[in-house]
Structures are given as C-alpha cells and as structure tokens.
Amino acid sequence: MNKYYPDTQIWIDYYLKRGIYGENALKFLKKAIEEDSIIFYSDFTIIELKKSGFFESEINEMLRIAKPDNIKRTHLTKIQISEAVKLAKQRDIPYGDALHAILARDHGVQLVARDIDFQKLKDITKSKLPEELI
C-alpha cells in the first residue's frame, strides 16, 4: 500500500481544475484511490486552504474525493513546527514548504508537490510531481 502527502497546491489544482495541472492532480488522486493507497493531509494543509480563501464546505468537498479508509489527517507537533521555522530561515524557503516536507518525512509518505522550493529539501524528503505517479 502506497502512502502519499499532496502539497496544498495539488489539492487546489485538482479542485479548481487548473488546466493540465488540475488534470494531472485529478488523475493522480484517482489512481491513488483505485490502488487503495492512503492520502495524507495535515492541519497545516487545512490552514493553507483557508488562507487561500476556501470555505470549510469547499475543503470538505475536496477531501471527499477519497473514501474514509483512504484518507488520513495528521497533526502538527511543536517539534515539527520548530524544525520547519529553522529550515525555512536556513534555506530561504517558505515555512509551509518546510513543514510539508517534515510531515512527509515523519510519516514515511511520498510528498507530491510541484513547487521548486522542495528541491532545497531533498535531504528531508524527495518530492514527486503528480504526473510521475500516474
């Protein structure tokens, strides 16, 4: 069984049907579900979606693509938050990207992301594009 942690942008691409990125995000999510994989999201994913202007009802609709057995929410720890703050400053990357990489590493899941800042975090976790997993 595979385990994936899509970056917030992947959820947004899928939900807003943003061209080829949206198509690939949807194909990736559908394939993961068909393979009975687990799709992880975090408290921070929800925070980012709300900051992007999504309502609770829209976020719930996004997450409903997966059956309850195929989706899992992870929670942040103070240690992860502290490490993300340090990493973001050290590597000049957004705090959220550092936190997503740390969460993927700590839960032993494949990070799925499009943002090039994740290249600066290859030693934390290696990210893959949705189209690499289709």
- In this prediction the pTM is 0.93
**What is the model's pLDDT at position 129?**
95
pLDDT in tens, 20-76: 999 999 999 999 999 999 999 999 999 999 999 999 999 999 999 998 999 999 999
**What is the model's pLDDT at position 49?**
98
**What is the model's pLDDT at position 46?**
97
Cβ-Cβ contacts under 8 Å for 62 (sequence gap 6 or more): 11, 14, 15, 49, 54
Q: Is the pLDDT of residue 1 over 90?
A: no
Cβ-Cβ contacts under 8 Å for 58 (sequence gap 6 or more): 15, 49
Q: What is the mean pLDDT of the chain?
A: 95
**What is the model's pLDDT at position 116?**
86
Calpha distance 1→49 (Å, rounded): 27
Residue 106's pLDDT band, with cuts at 50, 70 and 90, is very high
Calpha distance 40→105 (Å, rounded): 12
What phi and psi values does residue 77 have, to the nearest 5 degrees? Answer: -115, 160
> Could you tell me the two tokens for 8?
């917030």
19: left (phi over 0), alpha (psi -120 to 50) or beta: left
Ordered structural domains, the chain, with CATH: 3-127 (3.40.50.1010)
